Each structure stands twice: as structure tokens, then as C-alpha cells.
Amino acid sequence: MTDLAKLTWPEAAEFFSARAIAIVPVGSTEPHGPHLPLDTDVTIAAEQSARAAANLARAGAKAFVLPPVAYGLTNWTEGFPGRVTLRPGTLWALLEDLVLALEREGIRQVVFANAHLEPEHVQVLRGVAMDHPARTSEGAQVLFVDVTRRKNAEKLGEEFRSGDCHAGRYESSLVLAADPAAVREAERRVLAPVRIDLLEKMKAGVASFRKAGADRGYCGDPASASAAEGESLYERLADMIVDACRETWPDLFR
């Protein structure tokens, strides 16, 4: 078992060591169209983390998953009910405190597994990781496995690369694979594709889905999603974490 929240303290003692990898799933609480729940990003980050931890264990490394961070910067969903956003400094302080708390317990490797793609949110995670660039006898190194980086984005499909993937085929497939009961299938199956050229809108200074033309809180093609595609995506997402850990900390693997 690698889910820290489900362990007793004697069981957790096995994982709190200098050779363990602590994975922190990071998501958000925000609208994802009329068909996906507000915790979509949390579900995706938690599932990616759980699968990565299992794969790390099979590769000979010791890893565990912390309870997910369920809040982030969600300015892009302004105007839709259900949005709960933090200030940038609050998110930074929360993540920094988690790293420092793990350091005090002897952890020297921390991974951020983030599923919320809002640029300002991603920038905070990058910043915290940059503040912890190397592990020491007293401090932890933070590895941010950023799916928006080109080398990772290229593995996640055309819709993801286009940017028009908020609650679209990409995210809908992932939720169908991890938490199918949470998907409003009657709504999903009749949703028309929505193209808003999100990356171009960002360059033009647009900063909300409503202003970008996604007036129902989604873009992409959710009706074409499938659990099978979600399973394939999770394999790639989990491999990103494993590969990054192996490259950064080769001494932790058998």
C-alpha cells in the first residue's frame, strides 16, 4: 500500500526514510463542463500518482503518495459556479510547507504530480521546485513532472497539444478510466466539439474560458472520450514520473 492517508503510523514508518520518494498529487476544485465533476484535476493527479508509485515499487524504488492538494489557481473558470481559487502566495506557501514538513521527517525526494494546467498555477509549481534544486543531508529535492513541457505534451495526444483540452477528450477519458461513476454520461455523449484556439487566446491576453468562447466550461471533444484511451494516457503519465525519477535519482533503483 502506498497511500499515506490509509496507513497507520507504524506502517508509515517504512516510507519515511532518506531513500523514499514522496509524490504529491496537485489538482484544483473548479468547473469542468456540464459532464465532469469539480474534482476532475484531483482525480487525475491522484490516479497518475498511485500508478506511478506502483510502477516505482516494481522498479525497485520506494515511493508513497500523499493526500492530494485539492485547490489551486483557478482564474480561468471565473464566472462558473463551483470555482474555488487560491492566491498565488497561498499556493506557494502551502506547497513549500509540505516540502519542509517532509524534510523534517527525513524525506529527500519529493515529486509534484500536477493535473491542473492553468499557466499561473503551473508557474507556482515550477517556482517551488526551483527553490529546491538538489537534495542534501538536511533538505529535499523537488521534482516537478510538468506535463505541459513539450517533451511530455507530445506523448498526450493532439487535443492536449492544441491546448483545447479542458474537460475535452483528454480529461474526460482520464476520468472515465479512474472514476466512471462521476461522469455525467448522458450529457457527455451529446456535447459538440468546441474549438477556441486556447493557446492563441492566451498569447492575445485572454484569461478566462468564457472570454475565450467556451461558454459551457469545456473545450475539445468530450463525446469522443473513452475509458480505454484514459487507461493508455495513465500509462504514459505514470511513466513520465518513473522516467523522471530514474533520471534524477538513479541510486534509488535496484
pLDDT tens profile 179-238: 999 999 999 999 999 999 999 999 999 999 999 999 999 999 999 999 999 999 999 999
Q: 169-178 and 227-248 are packed helices; what angle lies between their axes, rounded to 10 degrees? A: 90
Distance between CA atoms of residues 225 and 115, nearest Å: 17
pLDDT digits 0-9 by tens, 47-79: 999 999 999 999 999 999 999 999 999 999 999
Distance between CA atoms of residues 170 and 222, nearest Å: 8
pLDDT digits 0-9 by tens, 90-142: 999 999 999 999 999 999 999 999 999 999 999 999 999 999 999 999 999 99
Candidates 14, 5, 17; CA nearest to 68 is: 5
Residue 59: its H or E element: none
Candidates 74, 129, 59; CA nearest to 98 is: 129
The grid coordinates of residue 86 equal 487560491
The grid coordinates of residue 166 equal 479542458
Domain 4-252, second-level architecture: 3-Layer(aba) Sandwich (3.40)
The grid coordinates of residue 12 equal 508509515
Rounded to two decimals, the pTM is: 0.97
